[in-house]
Chain A
Amino acid sequence: MNRKHKSDLVILFSTLGLMILGLIVIYAIGPMRANVLNSTYGADYDQNYFFLGQLRSVALSIAAFFIAFKFVPYKYIKKFAKPMMIIALILSGLLWVLSIAGSSLAKCELGECRWYNLGAVSFQPAEFLKLALVVYLADFLSRKREEGAIGSWREFWLPLLIVCGLSLFLVVVAQGDLGTGVALISIIFGTLLVAGVPAKQYLIMLALILAVAVGAVATSSHRMERIHAWLDTISGAASSDSTYHIENAMLAIGTGGFFGVGIGNSVQATGYLPESINDSVFAIMGETFGFVGLFLIIFVFGIMLFRMLKVADHTADNDHRIFIVGVFSWTLAQVVVNIMAMTGLVPVTGITLPLLSYGGTSMVFIAFAIGLVLQLSCYTSREVIKNENISSRRGVRGTHYTSRRGRS
């Protein structure tokens, strides 16, 4: 491992900057959200309810971020890769069982049971599953690579398919959470890519998952409806209840124009746009800050993602590299799928915008993961490490450091 140096400041500040921006927007639109819920559903939310909730989430997330960054060495995390994965699968599996049993411990919304109800707080096990999967894959793939077992059916693909298949089943089928499913697939294929899976096998697996995905959508009326709604929206067909969400998201973004309507002047947040503070927060930001603001947000996400890749590029340890790319894939999937859904480029899947959306669990876990990336950014070398393709070195054990020049 390289000598420790300063962390990547770009990742540090972009993470903190996005969280603070999210807090400002929730501060502006939270009271409207409270009004909508109070008047439409007879709820009794305080004006500051959502801002205080987000403040608590951001505080917890910053704590998780710095704990991961400074106090929990990655090597300890790595030791628990397998137990973490098992616990994550058990938590998701248990939720499924509880929801079937109709237990009040399982919190359901609109027929989907994705949360544990723990009194005052709720916990979404799928968020933990994403972190566990990244840690597990980093450990598993790097070990297999060390063993030269990558590409082997029994030693590599079979255990991988079991763990990944089980994860996807629990998230997509049991919890009905297509958004997290997309994030998991992104994590799996991102890490497989840099783990050095032979290109042919990689492409076969990619084709396979796409076929499964198409099949899963086509056999579910609920998912087909979303596809139809999306097609109706982009083709400008008649409005319906299904197209309402996308239409109003685009209405919010479109009315923002170049500079936006300004903080606190969002009309779409007053109840027109569903999920205005969670999944649709990007659209409200578009209305509030305009093209300039959204471009800036994408730019910040962009440099953060590129910095993660740069860190990965300069990281010698395979498990570190794979872990960083896992976090990168996770973040990328959520950012791209969320924003593309809001702009009518892909169907709505129900996925949060990392660090900006209202919500505790998702922010805490991604902040923790990015915190670990930041920790690993302290151990990069200046050189780009060119060792991801091992197709020509199959079975050459113990030589995977040979290309490392170790100047630093």
Chain B
Amino acid sequence: MSRIKILKSVTFIALAIIAVRLFFIQIIEHGEWVAKANEAHTLLETITAKRGEIYMMDNGEPVPVVLNQTTYSVIVDPAVTDKEGIKNALEKHAKSYITADIDQVFSTEGLRYYIIAKNIPHKIATAIADENVSGVWFQKSNQRVYPEGETASRLLGFVNADGLGQYGVEGSLNHILSGTDGLLKTISDVNNVALSIGNDNVKIPAVDGKNVVLSVDRGLERGIEELMQAAIDSTPATNAAAIIMNPNTGEVIAMANLPNYNPANYGQVPDASAYSNEATEIPYEPASICKNFAFSAAINEGVMTSSSTYYNLGYEIVDGWTIKNAEQRATLNNHTLDMKTALYWSLNTGSIHALKLLGGNPEEITQQGREKLYDYYHNKFRLGRETGIELIEAAGYIEDPNEGWGRNSTYANMTFGQNLGVTMIQTATAFSAVVNGGYYRTPTIVKGTLENNKITPLSREGVVEDQILTNDTSAMMRGMLINNRSYKVRAGIDKPGYDIGGKSGTAQVIVDGAYDNSMSNLVGSYIGFVGPSGEMPQYVIMTKMWGAGQALSGSEAQSLFDTLSNYAIDYLKIKPNN
């Protein structure tokens, strides 16, 4: 064979091998390669919806209290050559944001991706980008900003690292605030930049979350939190909670839980209980405050008035248990007293007498009495049930009137607010019905959603507006509650020209399944209303103070109420009637 022919053969064989190989790759394996290419080239990206912002009211105008800010993380490729350029650019513009040792990151072998700075504002990110250094990327993220700082943090909640609202309004209204993420599916280049090549590009735009306006007044909230902090500082209490609501509409205009936490640094709390909104999430025994509900029931049933009388021994034996009055003074014990006096001195024998009257027998507690009290507590005042406010709530509990052991003693206890679990919002809402003419109204803390300066109310299901007491019952209760505070007027604590009524409550705390009889661990509450003299109440204020291992009677909570009611009168410009 001629040597040129050898070359011809070599050429032919090589080219033939290539042609066969190409046929194999391009025709036979084509489908597999297309599948691999789709996997490698398709960019599937979530278009993040913008989270709605949260507003409070201020002088009748919505003002933002939780805002969004776009921040950037800086990612570097430590394998690039211009290490000095990157380092200089970062140190020049974003020194305080750097979260890692740059030199160490750069000297790590094989590292191609490192987040070197976080939470950089747009302006600084732009400045770094303008330095035109290679091997630097920015990753956009949304961050919540809190112009009010810690104020109302346990009402507002926070947004976790996954963008999910946690606790407070962020948690309960997450579905409204979060919006719906969109989707981008497209062919992309090696840097994940979408290309116009390809036919099956999908783009579902994101639906942004809605801005939510709370009925809470920003200035009032801020003001009462300062006063509450002062109260904590001057008493053994470590915690305080307060609600101010309009009894005529059910609208909450302040809801405070102290201590607050810093929502921008929500991770730094001792435990998760620091996040919870005491006013709606934690059922407790509000104690003598419940006497209002037992008295209202008996008066409304027509079996009792404020001047009905009973003989006060100073104690009562029910189911073999001796239930004592806290107040044991000689001028009260073994005397015939009217109900107004019984409420003034918060006598447990008085509220047990109301329960007996409900049962139709002034001498003993009957099944009818238990059932009537249950009907009022559970069905009318809706205690032990979620109110339906736009927040995370606990239901609490009310014992059944006909089942279980020691029904009579349980129900006797319930008349002065023990052996049941209710939340502050349940109590304040029920109390609103007691003083507003008898109307139970589902409480609300949201004005609506805000778009283009227009507030659209949320559509809510199961809103209750129900007259559960007569106007006369309510008026009689207001009279007794105002009487409760008569000495406050004399002492000059309550300003003249206003009708201010209220009731305290001191509850023993259940420790290890039993009441702590040492009386060293008490929770104090106070509830009252404020309005111009001779007019319907304009605001209901409830306070609660406690501290682990601290005996806090209703008096600390009462002092706090005094402070808050006076502050509210000034802040809300309630005009006196002289």
A-to-B contact residues, CB < 8 Å? 32, 35-36, 39-42, 190, 193-194, 196, 250-251, 253-258, 265, 267-268, 270-272, 286, 290-291, 294-295, 298, 301-302, 305-306, 309, 312-313, 325, 328-329, 332, 336, 339-340, 343-345, 384, 386, 388-389
Contacts and interface: CB of A to CB of B under 8 A. Distances in A.
B201 interface: no
B11 A386 contact: no
Nearest to B80: A41
Contact of A255 (B34, B135, B195): B34
15 contacts: A36-B189, A41-B134, A193-B7, A194-B3, A251-B36, A253-B33, A254-B25, A254-B29, A254-B36, A257-B30, A272-B41, A313-B4, A332-B10, A345-B21, A389-B2
Given A258-B26, A267-B37, A345 B17 contact: yes
Given A272-B41, A309-B8, A386-B2, A256 B26 contact: yes
B33 A258 contact: no
Interface in B323-379: none
B191 A271 contact: yes
A291 B190 contact: no
Contact of A295 (B7, B14, B19, B187): B19
B27 A258 contact: yes
Contacts of B4: 194, 309, 312-313, 325, 388
A251 B18 contact: no
Given A40-B134, A251-B40, A388-B4, A309 B11 contact: yes
Interface of B: 2-4, 6-8, 10-12, 14-15, 17-19, 21-23, 25-27, 29-30, 32-34, 36-37, 40-41, 132-135, 187, 189-191, 193, 195, 197-198
Contacts of A257: 26-27, 30, 34
Contact of B18 (A32, A41, A258, A298): A298
A404 to B, nearest CB: 15
Contacts of B27: 257-258, 291
Contacts of B21: 340, 343-345
A95 B442 CA distance: 88
A255 B191 contact: no
Contacts of B26: 253-254, 256-258, 286, 290-291, 294
A344 B24 CA distance: 12
A254 B33 contact: yes
B193 A343 contact: no
A291 to B, nearest CB: 4
Instruction: State the main secondary structure of chain B at its contact with A.
Output: helix
Contacts of A271: 189-191
Contact of A306 (B11, B133, B198): B11
Contacts of B133: 42
Given A42-B132, A256-B26, A272-B190, A389 B34 contact: no
Interface centre among B2, B14, B189, B190 (most CB of A within 10 A): B190
Contacts of B2: 313, 384, 386, 388-389
Contacts of A270: 189-190, 195
A267 B187 contact: yes
Given A35-B189, A267-B187, A253 B41 contact: no
Contact of B34 (A35, A196, A254, A294): A254
A181 B189 CA distance: 34
B449 to A, nearest CB: 40
A108 to B, nearest CB: 13
Nearest to B23: A291
Contact of A251 (B7, B33, B187): B33
Contacts of B14: 332, 336, 340
B191 A40 contact: yes
Nearest to A199: B3
Interface centre among B25, B32, B36 (most CB of A within 10 A): B25
In the A-B complex, the 8 residue pairs with the smallest Cβ-Cβ separation, listed nearest first, are A254-B33, A271-B190, A42-B134, A270-B189, A291-B26, A257-B30, A255-B37, A336-B14
Contacts of A301: 15
A294 B22 CA distance: 8
Contacts of B11: 302, 305-306, 309, 332
A52 B195 CA distance: 24
Nearest to B13: A336
B189 A291 contact: no
B40 A272 contact: yes
Contacts of B33: 250-251, 253-255
Contacts of B3: 193-194, 196, 388-389
B9 to A, nearest CB: 10
Nearest to A254: B33
Contacts of A313: 2, 4
Contacts of A250: 25, 33
Contacts of B135: 42
Contacts of B191: 36, 39-40, 271
